[in-house]
Amino acid sequence: MSATETAPTDTLKIETIAVLGAGTMGHGIAQVAALAGYPVVMRDLERDALRRGVQSIERNIRKGIERGKLTEEDFDLAMQRLRGTTHLEETLGADLFIEAAPEVLELKQEILRSVEALRPGRAFIFATNTSSLSITEIARASQHPERVIGMHFFNPVHIMRLLEIVLGRETSEGTLETAREVGRRMKKEPITVRDVPGFASSRLGVAFGLEAMRMVEQGVASARDIDTAMELGYNHPMGPLRLTDLVGLDVRLRIAEYLHQTLGTENFRPPEILRRMVEEGKLGKKSGEGFYHWNKDESI
């Protein structure tokens, strides 16, 4: 074993983080990493995405200052620690790569291979922010699947406290411990989940959403009243139907179909009302209508 290699069970000291992708999730992850004190290199293929990502980070931290949660010094230090690049070579010094590129298995595998090709023989952890793909599948592209793990952050990253850590079949204890430690330093609450379709969060969230839709379909109550039941009865910050409108009904339908196929349980069969609404172009907030009318905030 060379001096730079470590045994698969070892934890790894993370000094620098590379975030691959500067979109909705990537820039948020880069922000919480920089605020946690890590030097961060954020890489995207597109210069525009990098520019927008950095602007969003600046805007978010400024809002944090207005709310009294962050200081000017936090802003200055975080921005000093953050570097954006379109060149993968500039991520060379990182010990932890967090991939936040589009949700395409082959793309994630290709990114993993190119990171490994860049750093032969040097230990690093490759974390993917995938919300649905199998970590074990992604790790098939790796020479070191024990160092591949899921770090599933939630949107918006700087606000949501949950970090769902997903173990691939070969992920080592050391990799898990390192990911948990980094997550805690980013002020997230890590949970550990096996690599099953929907992990823990999507499986539960989608189950709630689909049941709520079936209740609208059966005329049990209006969408607003069903949401209110969960908001006031169970202290959910937002009811499952309003949340479905924000996520997008088309996105929810795809996830439900995937969970229905892979888990094989009937409670994930997409309800007719969901299929019909997607066919009619009622996709939620982005189309102006879903379970609510978004310009008037009325429920169906």
Which positions lie near ligand NAD, rule CB under 6 A? 20-26, 43-46, 49, 100-103, 111, 129-131, 154-155
- Of residues 22 and 226, the one with the C-beta less far from ligand NAD: 22
Please report, for residues 58, 82, 156, the alpha-carbon distance to residue 79 in angstroms, rounded to integers and kept in the order given: 8, 5, 19
Cα distance between residue 122 and residue 6, in whole Å:
8
Burial track 206-218 (b if 16+ CB lie within 10 A, e otherwise)? bbbbbebbbbbee
User: Of all residues in this chain, which one has the CB nearest to ligand NAD in the complex?
Assistant: 23
Give the shortest CB-102-to-ligand NAD separation in angstroms.
Answer: 5
The 3-state secondary structure of 70-117 reads: CCHHHHHHHHHHEEEECCHHHHCCCCEEEECCCCCHHHHHHHHHHHHH
When the beta carbons of 154 and 294 are compared against ligand NAD, the nearer one is 154
Cβ–Cβ under 8 Å, residues 81 and 38: yes
Helix (H, G, I), strand (E, B) or coil at 167: strand
Which one, 26 or 284, has the nearer CB to ligand NAD? 26
Q: What minimum distance in Å lies between the beta carbon of 220 and ligand NAD?
A: 29
Nearer residue to ligand NAD within complex by CB, 49 or 149: 49
Q: How far is the CB of 103 from ligand NAD (least distance, A)?
A: 4
User: Smallest gap, in angstroms, from Cβ of residue 43 to ligand NAD?
Assistant: 5
At its nearest, how many Å lie between ligand NAD and the CB of residue 13?
Answer: 25
Grouping H, G, I as helix, E, B as strand and the rest as coil, residue 203 is: helix
- Which of 224, 142, 202 lies closest to 175, judged by CA? 142
Instruction: Decide whether 90 or 177 has the Cβ nearer to ligand NAD.
Output: 90
**Cα(76)–Cα(61) distance, rounded to whole angstroms?**
10
DSSP 9: T
Residue whose CB is less far from ligand NAD, 204 or 232: 204
- Helix (H) or strand (E) run with residue 54 in it: helix 47-66
DSSP β-bridge partners for residue 284:
289
Minimum separation from the CB atom of position 100 to ligand NAD (A): 4
Structure tokens that stand for 213 in this block: 């839709």
- Which CB, 8 or 23, lies closer to ligand NAD? 23
CB of 23 to ligand NAD, least distance (A): 2
Shortest Cβ 133–ligand NAD spacing (Å): 7
Q: Which is nearer to ligand NAD, 7 or 45 (CB)?
A: 45
Helices (H), 169-289: 173-185, 201-217, 223-233, 240-247, 249-263, 272-279
